[in-house]
Amino acid sequence: MTTAERIYAEVKRLPEDLADRVLDFVLSLEQRHAVGQTVQETERGEAEVPVLDTRGWHFDREQANAR
């Protein structure tokens, strides 16, 4: 029996809310360890984070500190 089969057998016995927690955990592991991403996608990392264009915005210190 593979590890995936063992996990499946155990999760089938859990109540739905606990099975949802297991799924959330698995998805977070995938994201944390970049499972399913290519090496290029992983290496890009922060390069894909959009940059906020602030041209044309007026930042008034008095208004900002009044909040």
Cα–Cα distance measured from residue 4 to residue 26, given in angstroms and rounded to the nearest whole number: 11
Domain contains 26? yes
Domain contains 65? no
pLDDT, residue 33, reads: 80
Cα–Cα distance measured from residue 40 to residue 31, given in angstroms and rounded to the nearest whole number: 15
User: What is the tally of structural domains in the chain?
Assistant: 1
Domain contains 67? no
* Domain of 33, in residue numbers: 1-43
Q: Tell whether pTM > 0.75.
A: no
Domain contains 38? yes
pLDDT tens digits, 26-56: 888 888 887 665 555 555 555 566 666 667 6
| CA 7 remoteness from chain centre | 22
